Amino acid sequence: MNINDFQGFIYIYQLRSITKAATQMHLSKPEMSKRLRSLEAELNLQLVDRTNRRALKITPAGRTFYHHALSMMEQYQAMMRDLATIRHPLTNQIKIGTIPVVGQYKITAGITRFNQQHPQLQATLLENEGDVIIEQLHQGEIDAAILRDTQSAQFDEATYYRKTLVTDQLMVIVPKNSPLANRRALAIPDLKHVQIASLPVGSGVYEPIAQLFAHHNLTPHIFFQSTHIETLISLLGYDNTVTLLFKKSITPFLNDQVVMIPVQPSFNSCLQFVFKNNTGSYQLHHLLSSVQDYLAKV
């Protein structure tokens, strides 16, 4: 039994839902259920009556445990606050690795405003490829990461917090004079004979393109890769060249010579803020949570 067990049951009691409690704890529902069963086994008591799956009920033992768990959580938080005042001051630097899209999604501006409103610390964005950022986060070389969900999905929910910052829709960008330009939507098979200019492997855009083509037993003809969206757009002067990008990331670079068409069926992806829930420091965890909450509102 640990502090997370207490917090998890508090959520179950207050929300009357294992699913909602799992979301609050950044766990899957099966993992949350497993933890509850382990807790009940350790106490040798039934805390939750699961007879009616539509209406979860707390047993008398569960009500008693809840009040004690709530008291212990309050004491734990008070202890951490008191210890924070005597602990050696935490460095005021927070390193956040990010794939190269933060400008288009206003995240750079959001970090700048956050730093202005919190002069006691400095959040720094370090742009890199996704696989590099993932390794840096695993090794503790950075404190947090901004990644697409196709990249962040590999992080264990029991170990890492993941917060969605923005959701975006995949679009096909074609030259205005292309035969495809008059289409209202484009399915992946419609693109099997075109050449594609793409962001590189690790961008979080290349990967879903490859997956969508593979779903149709096709291989995309990616003839050029660049980290610069302006470069990709400049290559669309040929009828048989397209690029696939997410709508909000491409909008600032559009011109009257290209047309943006949605992929059919619609494919959405999101940017997520990721950091370890066991940072080893109550202060750092609190600061990262503050940055995360702020960016989610930008």
Q: Are 248 and 223 in contact (CB under 8 A)?
A: no
One of 3.30.70.580, 3.40.50.720, 3.40.190.10, 3.40.640.10 is the CATH number of 93-163+271-296, namely 3.40.190.10
Give 278-297 pLDDT, tens digit per residue. Answer: 655 555 666 677 777 777 77
Give 127-175 pLDDT, tens digit per residue. Answer: 888 889 999 998 889 989 999 988 888 887 767 888 888 899 999 999 9
Give 251-287 pLDDT, tens digit per residue. Answer: 888 888 999 999 999 999 888 999 887 655 555 666 6
Looking at per-residue pLDDT, the higher value among 112 and 118 belongs to 112
Q: Do domains 3-84 and 93-163+271-296 have the same CATH topology?
A: no
Measured distance between the N- and C-terminal CA atoms of the chain, rounded to whole angstroms: 38
Tokens of 151: 């990249």
Could you state, in order of their start, the residue ranges of all structural domains in the chain? 3-84, 93-163+271-296, 167-269
Instruction: Please give the model's pTM, rounded to 2 decimal places.
Output: 0.63
Task: Tell me the Cα Rg of the chain.
Answer: 23
Q: Are 160 and 275 in contact (CB under 8 A)?
A: yes
Closest CA to 105 of 272, 260, 287, 236: 272
pLDDT mean over 69-95: 73
**CATH fold of 167-269:** D-Maltodextrin-Binding Protein; domain 2 (3.40.190)
What residues are paired with 282 via a beta bridge? none
User: Measured between alpha carbons, how far is 46 from 275 in angstroms, rounded to an integer?
Assistant: 34
User: Measured between alpha carbons, how far is 271 from 167 in angstroms, rounded to an integer?
Assistant: 7
Long-range contacts of 47-56 (CB under 8 A, 24+ apart): 47/9, 48/12, 48/18, 55/16, 56/12, 56/16, 56/17, 56/18
Q: How many helices (H) and strands (E) does the chain have?
A: 11, 12
One of 1.10.3720.10, 1.10.10.10, 3.40.50.300, 1.10.260.40 is the CATH number of 3-84, namely 1.10.10.10
C-alpha to C-alpha distances, 260 to 61, 96, 189, 222, 255, nearest whole angstrom: 59, 31, 17, 19, 10
